[in-house]
Structure 1
Amino acid sequence: MGLRNLFRCFVSTSDQVADCDENNKYSWEQIKKWSRNFSTVIGSGGVSTVYLARIPGFGLTAVKIQLACTERLARIHDQEHQILVQVQQHPNIVKFVGHCDEREEERALLFEYASNGTLHDKLCTLTWKTRKMIAFQLASALQYLHGMQIIHGDIKSSNILLDQHLNCKLCDFGSAKIGFTPMVLPPSSPKAIIGSQGYVDPDYLKTGLVSKKNDIYSFGVVLFELVTGREAFSVEKGELLTEIIGGPLVGVEELVDPRLRNDEGLDLEEVKAMVSMARMCIGCSMIRPSAKEIVASMKHKFHIIS
């Protein structure tokens, strides 16, 4: 199971999660008990595994166990924890439940359950109204993060969870950066690259410079996915979605996900506006819109967004 399935298909009887703060620290024995000795694996990635747990007062919860056997891995975990504690005031960012760092070799982060899985897995079933709302909510979450000088670093459809009402819940801050420090390790080393195939800003790949413009590029790719219903990168064809539809604004009707053709709520003017915005986001980094400008534009051009 790949990284995109880390938080896939969470099923719970309730999306209710209590408020948390920096002091929500649990013991390893507590987590072990609540997860029934880590008996149910939800997903796994390169250095982490996610388990199902039932925490008293919270209900079903996702427990991400991450290796911390090196200084670098421990630092990644600690920074993700630090960022999660800071960003809990936005409704479209996944709710942080707690953590455990008492074991040197592995650490735990606990999150709310999102009962409708990920945008990547659910996209083909969503109406146009829901898709444009998710786009707006994601832009709003980015505006909030960038206002706090936080770069997410891995915006993609599989890092967008959907709650019981299909609201966006941005997750996975393992690649996030605090502050706009421009230079990271040269991207010639695979381990230095942040982001995912199909979503990574080409300017970042060329220069190694990390900025909020990288998030805006990835956001543009997600907009293309919402319009077309296609994946950002086709493994079978070796094609990038941005290469297929990133050209001049012609034939917008042909880009629309065929599953939306009979959607009574489909508004082609809104589709054109979203495609235009997506192309601006993946364009020259110097003239890409900010998240704040994107939110303002969406409020103006999309119905139901106030």
Structure 2
Amino acid sequence: MVQLSWKRRMAIAFQLAQAIEYLHDKCSLQIVHGDIKASNILLDDQLNCKLCDFGSAKMGFCSAIIPPPSILGRNRIMMEGSPGYTDPHYLRTGIASKKNDVYSFGVILLELITGIQAFNPSNRERLITRAEPMLRDVEKVVDMVDPRLKLKGDINYIELEETKAIAAISAMCLCDSPSLRPCISDILTTFTNKISSVSSFLTLEKNKVLL
């Protein structure tokens, strides 16, 4: 398994957010992916992020689709989604919206911070449950950071303040009420303005184009 540096993890998060923004805001028919999870994020030989598997995608609406009452009762299994990643609001209501993808993106950010899977099948614990103290108080992020990133002198040594900022973004994405979650374009703006690892990545990519 490739050990990803903090900067590379942030580059992947930024690229994923760009992919989601394209689906949500830039396609002629807006798309909700509906199944954003680690196994649907592929990395090429340059470790660039590619979002795949659109089998759960929903197209052509602005904000939300409310299913008929019969779907909520008869086909509940269809709505279970991927454990650890699926928006609980969607599971409760069957209402599909862009904010479902934002929730899943928040889970991906937690995985990038902690190095822990979104769902532990052995004890059925969700990462969001384990990370709850950090989500309530980002000062506790130091207790959850992937130990492989905390070795001073190593290329993967991280800036604590930047990690707190990512934890704060994740907490907003994981709000129980979809209306309180940011849209993906706002998340991208925050990444660009506040996460120096992303800024350095963008500068590097710009220089590649100019070469």
TM category (shorter chain) comes to 0.7 to 0.9
Counterpart residue type for residue 196 of structure 1: S
Greater fraction helix: 2
Aligned partner of 2:22 in structure 1 is 144
The amino acid across from 1:220 in the alignment is: G
SS at 2:65's partner residue? coil
- How far does residue 238 in structure 1 lie from its aligned partner after superposition? 1.5
- Give the aligned partner of residue 274 of structure 1: 166
Residue equivalent to 1:231: 117
Deviations 1:229-276 (A, max 9, x none): 000011112111011113412311111001111244411111101111
**1:202-221 → structure 2 map (5 Å cutoff):** 202-221=88-107
Deviates more, 1:226-235 or 1:236-245: 236-245
Given the alignment of the two structures, is residue 292 of structure 1 paired with residue 185 of structure 2, yes or no? yes
Using structure 1 for the length normalisation, give the TM-score. Answer: 0.57
- Alpha carbons of 1:146 and 1:297: their partners in 2 closer, same or farther (altered >3 Å)? same
| Distance of 1:229 and 1:187 partners within structure 2 | 36
C-alpha distance in 2, partners of 1:231/1:164? 23
Note if contact 1:155-1:215 (Cα within 8 Å) is conserved in structure 2: yes
Q: Check whether the contact 1:136–1:295 (CA below 8 A) recurs between aligned residues.
A: yes
Structure 1 residue 188: deviation in Å? 6.0
Question: Which among 119, 126, 140 is matched to residue 251 of structure 1?
Answer: 140
Structure 1 residue 131 corresponds to structure 2 residue 13: no
5+ unaligned residues in a row in structure 2: which ranges?
Answer: 203-211
SS of 2:72's equivalent in the other structure is: coil
3-state DSSP of counterpart to 1:125: coil
Q: Give the total of aligned pairs.
A: 184
Specify which structure has the higher proportion of strand.
1
Equivalent residue runs for 1:193-208 within 5 Å: 193=79, 195-208=81-94
Structure 1: which 4+ aligned runs deviate by more than 3 Å? Answer: none
> In 2 relative to 1, CA 164–187 (structure 1 residues): closer, same or farther, beyond 3 Å?
farther
Larger radius of gyration: 1
> What SS class does the counterpart of residue 54 from structure 2 fall into?
coil
**Post-superposition shift, 1:157?**
0.5
Q: RMSD between aligned alpha carbons?
A: 1.6
Q: Contact conserved, 1:229 with 1:257, CA < 8 A, in 2? A: yes
Task: Name the SS of the counterpart of 2:53 in structure 1.
Answer: coil
Q: Give the deviation of 1:190 after TM superposition.
A: 4.2
The answer to which structure, 1 or 2, has the higher relative contact order (CA under 8 A, 6+ apart) is: 2
Q: Distance in 2 between matches of 1:195 and 1:125?
A: 28
Consecutive unaligned residues of structure 1, counting only runs of 5 or more, are: 1-121
Amino acid at match of 2:129: E
What amino acid maps onto 2:172 in structure 1?
Answer: M
Equivalent in the alignment of 2:127: 241
- Identify if the C-alpha distance between structure 1 residues 285 and 272 changes in structure 2 by more than 3 Å, giving closer, same or farther: same
User: 2:38 matched to which residue of 1?
Assistant: 157
Q: Which moved more, 1:129-138 or 1:237-246?
A: 237-246
Q: Deviations over 1:182-215 (max 9, x none)?
A: 1233276344216311001010011000000000
| Secondary structure at 1:169 match in 2 | strand
Counterpart in the other structure of 1:182: 65
- Distance 1:300-1:236 versus aligned 2 partners, 3 A rule: same
Residue 150 of structure 2 aligns with which residue? 261
TM-score, normalisation: structure 2: 0.82
Measure how far apart 1:285 and its partner are. 1.1
Identity rate of aligned residues, in percent?
A: 48
Is 1:167 the counterpart of 2:48? The answer is yes
After superposition, the Cα gap between the structure-2 partners of 1:292 and 1:159, relative to the gap in structure 1 and judged at 3 Å, is same
Q: 1:234 to 1:178 in 2, by over 3 A?
A: same
Look up the SS of the partner of 2:42 in the other structure.
strand
TM alignment of 1:44-193, pairs within 5 A: 122=1, 125-147=3-25, 148=27, 149-180=30-61, 181-184=64-67, 185-186=71-72, 189-193=75-79
